[in-house]
Chain A
């Protein structure tokens, strides 16, 4: 196919997908599916935020729930302490997350590979234990948002639809940012760092500074996702806001779709969230066990057979087809 029609057809395909994403919740009456849609958007948002540092920069953080929890707690603590609308706490959550990323990132980003991952796990667990044992932060019980919505600022809606579009809007901003970043100098630096950090440094890439930028952007968006999540649920406790499994979900969604690709985390989220909701609906209370067995099996399978995720499988398929067509 010549280049111009191909670009046009890709554009058309993109427009169709976008239109479908925007319209489908309006066509479906069932609130269960609308809720799943909103949760997919949220998962895609957090996974894309993780993707900035975990995918593009190749620094596998398993402690991103630290930033997510910051956002979630900031919005609900703002309400508990000062009766603020939960969303007003979001900027504070982002500010605290950026500060944490600065403080924590300086020493941890020096660590290579596994060591970075382990340090991030330890940090997140540390935060969870500290919050669990600090009564003013809600302790083990957690904190709640307003019982009754007081104004539209409380972002407390009965229908999942507004959440779908709010999460989707923020996701859109993040995707634009990611797209811009990946084509900017920063994107090239990050890919060089991911490929071979020592080589990148020897070519004059200021690796530490750019890894820090990626971490800051990632932490900010992750925190925002946490705030929105807390506004939707109206409740957060150490497990639902700071549990290690939340980090794991971000990593799995990105890795399944393809870490370090623009749309990979979206594809991953669109597969994993419905899967989780369906297993929960099928197995009831024991569903959590089954869900994570399936999650675990998926990531074992990906790392064993296709470390690049579905994106890699797709490009392999394309190459295979090209070989056999020509």
Chain B
């Protein structure tokens, strides 16, 4: 029964991992640029949620969309201001550009809010329920299910709508897309906006039950890398499967070996995937 609880908790966190990793995989698949600031986008969203709750007394039904919108804007601004210019430059510029952005976001937050751990009230969404012997924390359940639905929604947006087709067309072949009348720049900006909005929703959701601190993005970014590598670059369904898997593996590792080692297992898995199957488990070679 304890094991079922551990797996359930891992699954719910994993769904949130899947959501923000989908954002990373979307950007990556679209233009072959890695957003090293991705974890810090999630962190910013957590602070947006925290401020919206404590200062403006907004509930999750408001601060989740608010964080999504703000991060969407941030993504678009970052694309036009920075990424558009470095994505064709030398590899050092590509890596340092978003890495520098990560430092600015992380340490500006540290400067403003100090390194203290913040958190939202545990019972924001109600008290813990026990169903069939499983402890259900409303905040985790809501976050997990919402993330699951939105990740699937993102996949449907990409595969079932005209807009999604245009996005994928640019990802497939920029020049060919231009020949059929799709301007790549707005599409790539949109991909950055959507990718960042994923972190916005995921950050606001994870803030419901996670500690909030300026450096939290560092480990979240590594988790996103792992999920994207495992799921295959550019694949949202891959990110979903991999995110849930990583969530459950982390949860099992903290249960069996100890919380300090949950990242160790995840990173080793990451290196193993990079070495033995660089295209990911579900990706194409």
The interface of chain A, by Cβ under 8 A from chain B, is: 54, 58, 60, 62, 107-108, 110-111, 113-115, 117-119, 121-123, 125-126, 129-130, 132-133, 244, 248, 251-252, 255, 259, 286, 288-293, 295-304, 307
A122 near B107: Cβ-Cβ < 8 Å: no
**A126 with B264: CB separation less than 8 A:** yes
A307 with B92, Cβ < 8 A, contacts A296-B100, A296-B102 known: yes
Pick the contact of A289: B93, B110, B270 (CB < 8 A).
B110
A-B contact pairs, 18 of them (CB 8 A): A62-B95, A118-B225, A118-B229, A119-B270, A125-B263, A126-B267, A248-B99, A252-B96, A293-B103, A296-B100, A296-B107, A297-B100, A299-B99, A300-B101, A303-B100, A304-B81, A304-B97, A307-B92
B17 smallest CB distance to A (angstroms): 16
CB within 8 Å for A111 and B222 given contacts A248-B99, A296-B100: no
Which of chain B's residues have a CB closer than 8 A to the CB of A60? 91-92, 95
Residue of A nearest to B263 (CB): A129
Q: Are B93 and A303 in contact (CB under 8 A)?
A: yes
B274 close to chain A: CB less than 8 A: yes
Q: Are A251 and B96 in contact (CB under 8 A)?
A: yes
Which single residue of chain B is at the shortest CB-CB distance from A195? B90
Chain B CB within 10 A, most for which of A54, A111, A133, A296: A296
Closest chain B CB from A293 CB (angstroms): 5
Give the contacting residue for B111; candidates A117, A126, A293; CB below 8 A. A293
Check if A288 sits within 8 Å of B260, measured CB to CB.
no
Cβ contact of B86, chosen from A248, A255, A259, A304, cutoff 8 A:
A304
Of chain B, the residue at the smallest CB distance from A119 is B274
Q: Is the Cβ of B92 less than 8 Å from the Cβ of A303?
A: yes
Main secondary structure of the interface of B (DSSP, over half): helix
Question: Is the pair B260, A129 in contact by a Cβ cutoff of 8 Å?
Answer: yes
Question: Which chain A positions have C-beta within 8 A of B105?
Answer: 296
**Assembled-state Cα–Cα distance A295/B110 (Å):** 14
* Contact status of A125 and B225, CB under 8 A, knowing A292-B107, A298-B100, A302-B96: no
- Given A115-B274, A118-B34: A292 in contact with B106 (beta carbons within 8 A): yes
| Chain B CB within 10 A, most for which of A111, A118, A121 | A118
Cα distance, A291 to B267, chains bound together (Å): 29
Residues on B lying within 8 angstroms of A by beta carbon are: 34, 81-82, 85-86, 89-97, 99-108, 110-111, 114, 218-219, 222, 225-226, 229, 260-261, 263-264, 267-268, 270-271, 274-275, 278
- B268 near A126: Cβ-Cβ < 8 Å: yes
How many residue pairs, one in A and one in B, have C-beta atoms under 8 Å apart?
139
The docked-state distance in angstroms from the alpha carbon of A284 to that of B53 is 31
Q: Which residue of B lies closest to A290 (CB)?
A: B111
Q: Are B218's CB and A244's CB within 8 A? A: yes
By the criterion CB–CB under 8 Å, are A107 and B275 in contact? yes
Apart from the given pairs A121-B225, A251-B96, 12 other A-B contacts in the complex at a CB distance below 8 Å: A111-B278, A123-B267, A255-B92, A289-B108, A290-B107, A295-B103, A296-B106, A299-B103, A301-B100, A303-B94, A304-B97, A307-B93
Q: How far is the CB of A100 from chain B (nearest CB, A)?
A: 13
Distance, CA A288 to CA B107, complexed state (A): 8
Find the B residue at minimum CB distance from A297: B104
Which residues on the A side are within 8 Å of B89 (C-beta)?
Answer: 303, 307
Q: What's the least CB distance linking B273 to chain A, in Å?
A: 10
Report the nearest A residue to B264, measured CB to CB. Answer: A129
Smallest Cβ-Cβ distance to A117: which chain B residue: B95
CB closest chain-A residue, reference B85:
A304
Cβ-defined contact, A248 with B275, below 8 A: no
Q: Would you list the 4 A-B pairs with minimal beta carbon distance, nearest first? A: A296-B103, A289-B111, A299-B100, A296-B104
Q: Which residue of A lies closest to B275 (CB)?
A: A107
Question: CA A121 – CA B263 in complex, angstroms?
Answer: 13
Contacting residues, chain B, for A302 (C-beta < 8 A): 93, 96, 100
Tell which of B90, B103, B261, B278 touches A292, judged by Cβ atoms closer than 8 Å: B103
Whole-angstrom CA separation of A144 from B255 in the bound complex: 33
Q: Which residues does chain B contribute within 8 Å of A123, judged by CB atoms?
A: 267, 271
Chain B residues closer than 8 Å to A114, beta-carbon distance: 34, 91, 94-95
Q: Is the CB of B96 within 8 A of A255?
A: yes
Q: Report A130 CB to chain B, min CB distance, Å.
A: 7
Option from A110, A121, A133, A300 in Cβ contact (under 8 Å) with B104: A300
> A198 CB to closest chain B CB, in angstroms?
14
Least Cβ distance of B172 to chain A in Å?
A: 20
Q: How far is the CA of A145 from the CA of B32 in the complex (A)?
A: 46
CB distance from A126 to the nearest CB of B (A): 5
User: B66 to chain A: closest CB distance in Å?
Assistant: 25
For residue A255, give the distance in angstroms from its CB to the closest CB of chain B. Answer: 6
How far does the alpha carbon of A125 sit from the alpha carbon of B225 in the complex, in Å? Answer: 13
